[in-house]
Structures are given as C-alpha cells and as structure tokens.
Structure 1
Amino acid sequence: MLRAILGNKSGRISVGDESVSVREVYKDREDMLTAAIISRVSYLSDEALNNLFQSIFTDSQQDFSGLLDVEFWPNFSSSLQSRVEPDVILHFEWGVMIIEAKRPHDSYQYAEQWIKELESLPSNYREGEIYFLSLGGSTANNKVELARFRGLKDFYENVSIPNPTFMAYQTWEGLIDYLQRSKDSGDLSRSDNNVIADMIEALELYHVHANIYSLSSLKPLNIKYSSLTNISNIRSIPSISAGEEKPITNLASLPIQRLNWPIAATAFDTVKESKSTWRVKPFCNINERALELWKI
C-alpha cells in the first residue's frame, strides 16, 4: 500500500461531499506515518535494529535486537482519563518501549500525555524495563516537555506512574538523517537497504528531507576531463620543450584542443610521463568532485 501511495496510484475516497486522493489523506494523518515507519522497523535485521535505537538511547547499554512484538494503538484504561492510546509499544525480552509520535512540522509533544500513557500501563507491562521515546516535535519542544515531565510526575504523588528506565526524543529530521547515513554507508544488507529506502521515501512524502546528501545524488559536472588527461605532440606547444618542465600559465598556449574547465582554473602544472606524453593538473583549489577526476 505504501508503494501505491508513494507512486500516487492509491486512488481516491469520499470525505464528506468531497473526493480526496488517498495520498493527500495519508499526508494529513500522523497515524499513517507512524504505521509506515514503525512497522518497517520490525523488518530490519537484528544488527540494524540495535544500531537504530542505540543511536537514540545513547546512554543505554541495552540490546535492542530481540524485538518480540509491535503493538499499535493499544487501548488502556486509566485513572486520569477514560481511555489512553499510546501510539506504539515495542516488546522486548527485557521490557517495553513506548513510542509517542507526532506529525512533522506542525505538531508538539506534551508531558501530560506522556504521564497518562505511563500511568495506564497494565501491570504485566511494568515487569521489566520501560523505555519512552518521543518521536516528532522540535528539539526545543522536547527539551521543554522533558523538564515539565519531571515536575508533573512529582505532582501526581497519589497516582502510580512507573519511572522509565530511559526517556529520549528524536525528531523526524534527525531520524531521516540517520537513515540516509546508514544507507550511504554501504554496510547494510540488501533487505535492510530496501526497508530503509522505503522509510526515507515515506518521510519525504511529509516534506521531511535529510540535511545530508549521498554521493549518488550529486549531478555530474560538465567537464570533458578526458581532453585534459593527456597532451600529446608537445612540440606544437611553444611554452614547453622536451627537455624542461614548467607551468603553462596561458591557456591560449594550448592550441591542441579548447579546454572545457572552470574559469578559475587559469594555471596548470605539467608532469612529464614520457617523451611524447604530458599530464596536466590545475594549480588552483577547485571543486572537490572535479579534483577527484584528476587523481593520477
């Protein structure tokens, strides 16, 4: 279904008297994004799964590879509210992780909601460790709410609220940056790479984009470097003789071909390879990608 939505092949549905594309409905619902991302987390290999959560819970030494179950929107009763629905609960051998997710860009996390979700946890969910992940909201918003959470928890002194072993937050922007780095590392298996590629595309549909760029995303420069690699027939170049090596400081002195190179490259260093062949390298500090082409 995600692939059909991403390809705008998911059709339309009626919302009231209006016909709306499923793609637009998807983009408007944070629950759809939560399901698309977290459901794919469970498809990751043990190593990739552990690396993902270790990047978020940086102070934890816990092993996150043993994921047993993923529970979406469980319905719990609470003394603070008639019904409480955490977005996701991940079950591990050592305990549970509660995930509260918010839509990108225009949604905020609230400490009061975190309190209610923790208080509503059934007793069998409290038997092991409890991790809490705030996913979404800005960094500033999460820092404020974490500070408020500690004060609010003390306020509810007559209510049984378990102490999370660890609490952490991750913005969607931070998550997609991590995913893009993982994808670019070349260390992923083919299946992990495909899963992470889907997660990245799902986030981009919500206009969440990585602040880092893969090498494959860079457009090649229009540089005909093959015309610069070798210069033959050096007798036709008046500024160079067969017995000496000196810079060519005037591009006009190279009548063999017109060189297609950035304007800033106005000086070249010639390196003699044989009696009939010279290599040239620019003196100037040019674009790193172009410079890579000149490695000899």
Structure 2
Amino acid sequence: MLNAIIHGKAGRIELGNGTETLSWRQLYQQREDLLTAAFFSRFTYLSGLLQHRLLKQWLGGVGDFTAFEKIDYWPRYDLEKRDDRNFVEPDLLLNFEDCDLLIEVKPPKGGDQYQEQWQLEIEGYFAQEKRLKPLYFLAIGRIGSVLAELDDESLQEKYPQFQKANAIGWKAIASQLRKCLIEGDLDVQDRRIIEDMQKALSLYGIRVRDLRWEDLHKLTDEAPLNLDSLTAWSLYVN
C-alpha cells in the first residue's frame, strides 16, 4: 500500500455525499496515526541489533533494546482521578525482554509535544500495565524545548522503574537512517526495511538528500563556517 500511495496508484476516497474526493497521499499526510503505523510496523522487522542501535541513539545512548518482544499500538490507560479527561493514549508501547518503551509521535506539521501528556502517559503505564519493567519514554517530532520542562527526578522518585525520557526530531531520525545505509554494514533485509522506513517518512516531506557543497554555502551565508554549520549541513533535509 505504501508504494501504491507513493507512486500515485492508490486512487482516491470519496468524501461526504461523493461530490469531493481525497487522495490517499493527502489522507496520509493529514493523519499522524498513519505515519506511526507505516514507520514502526516496518521497524519491528529490523534485526534486534539494528533496533537496539537506533533506539539507543534516539534515547541519547542508554538502554538495552536487543531482545524485542512485541509492539502495542495506541494502548489506552484510563485516568480515574481527573475531571478534564478520561484516558490517555500513547502512540506506541514497545516491549523488550529487559525494558519497555513508550513513544509519543507528532508529525512535522502537527501539534507540539507537551510535558503534561508525557507525564500522564508515564503515570498511566505504571498504574495499569500488569507486567512492569524499567521504562523509557521517547517523544518524536515537534519537540521544541519541552524536554527541559519534564521533571525526571520527581518521576523517578514516584516510579523507581522509570529510567529516562528523551525527545528527538524527525530530521535527526531521517539522517540516522541515511547514515545506516551509507555505512554499508547492513544485511539485505535490514537495508530494504530501512529504505521502506525512509519512504514512509518521505510522504510527510521528511527526506535526507546527498550532501552538496552548494547547500553548505547556503548555510554559511549568514554565519561563519564552524562545527555548528557543518552539523547543520550533515542534517540537511528537504
């Protein structure tokens, strides 16, 4: 289905009384849940070592994610003591042999991440999951400065099994996937899966392209050449 959408072969969907239509590409771009499903359903087929390598990078260098067990899409945690909302629904719960990982996804043009939602999702996990493990939390996309607002220490005092929260943008993830392909140490299956994950991101306009000298020139028009500009160049995304 993903390739059919990319190549314009998926057709259109009738809206309302049938007088208007919407392409599958437009629908995909409007629904963050489709990005979540397309990207992470492919992630689950990666080798354990590559899953570990990517998640450890995305979480800032911590965690053991080599023994993947299963993925739960949009787990629902009821909130019994709140008047403003009845439940919270993280996008993903990834279960590993030695830990769990909650993931909250925001598309590039969607709403921003916010720490109250993160905290409720973490609290919901510890209140309702039957098999508790050391827990990590990862926010992807539209992160802004919200990570600095999260009180990790208070969460760790309340929930000793809570390990760490981290946030990462889609630009950095796309760049890391590209780096995996360039380094050339992937087997055939992992390479094909990474390429498919890149295609899923491309439908949202998240594409890493080969570095070009003219791009570096553009980045240094307003600032001198230094380590920061070289880093920005290495993450250049259309």
When normalised by structure 1's length, the TM-score is 0.64
Q: Mind listing any 5+ residue stretches in structure 2 that lack a counterpart? A: 213-238
Q: Give the Cα separation in 1 of the matches to 2:154 and 2:15.
A: 41
More helix by share: 2
- Residue of structure 2 equivalent to 1:38: 40
Once residues 124 and 109 of structure 1 are traced to their aligned partners in structure 2, the CA distance between those partners, rounded to angstroms, is 23
> Does the residue aligned with 1:120 lie in a helix, a strand or coil?
helix
Instruction: Report if the CA contact (8 A) 1:180-1:214 is conserved.
Output: no
**More divergent stretch after superposition (14-23 vs 27-36):** 14-23
1:1-296 → structure 2 map (5 Å cutoff) = 1-17=1-17, 18-60=20-62, 62-78=63-79, 79-80=81-82, 81-121=85-125, 122-124=127-129, 127-138=132-143, 141=144, 144-150=145-151, 164-210=162-208, 213=210
Question: Per the alignment, in what secondary structure is the counterpart of residue 173 of structure 1?
Answer: helix
* Aligned AA (1:64): F
CA spacing shift, 1:167–1:104, aligned 2, 3 Å: same
Shift of 1:169: 1.2
CA contact (8 A) 2:65 2:99 kept: no
Under a length normalisation based on structure 2, what TM-score does the superposition of the two structures give? 0.78
Deviation, 1:4, is 1.4
Please state how far the C-alpha of 1:214 moved relative to its aligned partner. 7.2
Per-residue displacement from partner, 1:40-93 (whole Å, max 9, x unpaired)? 110101121111112122331x32121100000112101333121110000011
Runs (5+) with no aligned partner, structure 1: 216-296
2:229 equivalent in structure 1:
none
Q: Secondary structure at the match of 2:78?
A: coil
After superposition, the C-alpha distances for 1:164-183 in whole angstroms (9 at most, x for unaligned) are 30111111110000000101
Question: Which has more radius of gyration?
Answer: 1
Identical-pair percentage: 34
Provide the secondary structure at the position in 2 that maps to 1:165.
strand
Q: Which amino acid aligns with 2:68?
A: L
Q: Which has the higher contact order (CA 8 A, sep 6+)?
A: 2
Cα deviation code 1:122-148 (max 9, x no counterpart):
44456210000001114xx1xx21222
Q: Is the 8 A contact 2:15 2:21 kept in 1?
A: yes
Poorly superposed stretches of 4+, deviation over 3 Å: 122-126, 151-154, 160-163
What is the deviation of 1:96?
Answer: 0.9
Tell me, in whole angstroms, the C-alpha distance in 2 between the residues paired with 1:204 and 1:39.
Answer: 16
CA distance in structure 2 between the partners assigned to 1:197 and 1:166 by the alignment: 29
Give the number of equivalent residue pairs.
205
Give secondary structure in 1 for the equivalent of 2:193. Answer: helix
How far did 1:162 drift?
A: 6.6
Q: Distance in 2 between matches of 1:35 and 1:106?
A: 16
How far apart, in 1, do the equivalents of 2:42 and 2:161 lie?
28
Q: Shift of residue 12 of structure 1?
A: 1.3
